[in-house]
Copies of this chain bind each other. A is one copy, B any other.
């Protein structure tokens, strides 16, 4: 049986999996993200049990995805200092001489939904992870959006809410999207974690306003068929409808779109979209 390796490399944990051509997960393991040395040894001992054809990686970043670059396959300027300039693809290649697909963690989640989830019937979609940070990945006509590098849409500039006094928490841009609507920004603003904040607290209208603007700007710049909102902040499920309502108000019927509850949606694969996406990317790499 053809087997593929998958690594969903996050800032706090690595999820590794072995899967088959039908994207069934045969075995999976979760490894804490400590140092590259420690973490990669555990990755290796997991994969060593199998004969794998290819590997698909979805990694936290920023990462270098330019195949002509000297640092292709590296994690680049991450604040996680142990991982800065880590040659992710090169390190794996030294162990396993197989083709390796390498993309961002959020692109992997998008790809999982595209191959096996809610984005199965579209070929242009955008995926946001709204959690400790905010990251985005985009696909147009079945191809990841990449130019000079991968998108970094979490830091987009947005219009500030008139009732919001919070100054923002982004060390680079202060009041960009991530600075205003990430998990830590919510906690810093209110003094408690999002999960402890009442559903009817007006802070959610403020957060919904920012995320709705992000979705609106995404609509204008990328024209996707579907926007998926995932990540820890979106675990407050009441937020989704608040975002949809504000999106409809901001758009004001300017762009003709599918029904809003189809156009802006949650991921459908129960937090397995990332690892399934990595598996799908591994399988593609084999073709």
Docked pose: A182 CA to B145 CA in angstroms: 28
Check: A220 CB closer than 8 A to any chain B CB: yes
- Chain A contact residues: helix, strand, loop or mixed: loop
Please judge, given known A-B contacts A141-B146, A147-B141, A148-B124, whether A254 and B223 are in contact too, CB under 8 Å: no
Docked pose: A82 CA to B252 CA in angstroms: 23
For the side of the interface on A, what is the size category? Answer: 35 or more
Q: Is the CB of A140 within 8 A of B151?
A: no
Check: A89 CB closer than 8 A to any chain B CB: no
What chain B residues lie within 8 Å of A91 (beta carbons)? Answer: none
Check: A172 CB closer than 8 A to any chain B CB: yes
The residues in A between 123 and 178 inclusive whose CB is less than 8 angstroms from any CB of B are: 124, 136, 138, 140-141, 143, 145-160, 172-173, 175
Q: Is the CB of A252 within 8 A of B172?
A: yes
Check: A213 CB closer than 8 A to any chain B CB: yes
- Cβ of A147 to closest chain B Cβ, rounded Å: 3
Q: Is the CB of A152 within 8 A of B217?
A: no
Docked pose: A231 CA to B141 CA in angstroms: 29
Please judge, given known A-B contacts A151-B220, A153-B221, whether A159 and B141 are in contact too, CB under 8 Å: no
Q: Is the CB of A221 within 8 A of B157?
A: no
Partner of A254, one of B155, B219, B250: B155
How many protomers of this protein does the assembly include? 2
What chain B residues lie within 8 Å of A217 (beta carbons)? Answer: 156-157, 217, 221
- Cβ of A108 to closest chain B Cβ, rounded Å: 17
Check: A183 CB closer than 8 A to any chain B CB: no
What chain B residues lie within 8 Å of A218 (beta carbons)? Answer: 221
Docked pose: A78 CA to B149 CA in angstroms: 35
Check: A222 CB closer than 8 A to any chain B CB: yes
What chain B residues lie within 8 Å of A252 (beta carbons)? Answer: 172-173
Q: Is the CB of B172 within 8 A of A254?
A: yes
Docked pose: A136 CA to B250 CA in angstroms: 19
Please judge, given known A-B contacts A221-B221, A250-B173, whether A213 and B148 are in contact too, CB under 8 Å: no
- Cβ of A163 to closest chain B Cβ, rounded Å: 14
Q: Is the CB of A222 within 8 A of B151?
A: yes
Check: A102 CB closer than 8 A to any chain B CB: no
Check: A58 CB closer than 8 A to any chain B CB: no
- Cβ of A217 to closest chain B Cβ, rounded Å: 5
Q: Is the CB of B151 within 8 A of A221?
A: yes
What chain B residues lie within 8 Å of A256 (beta carbons)? Answer: 77, 149
Given contacts A153-B221, A158-B159, 17 further A-B contacts (CB under 8 A): A140-B140, A140-B147, A141-B143, A141-B147, A147-B223, A148-B225, A149-B223, A149-B256, A151-B223, A152-B220, A152-B223, A152-B255, A158-B158, A173-B250, A217-B217, A217-B221, A221-B221
Which A residues are within 8 Å of any B CB, using their own CB?
Answer: 77, 124, 136, 138, 140-141, 143, 145-160, 172-173, 175, 213, 216-225, 250, 252-258
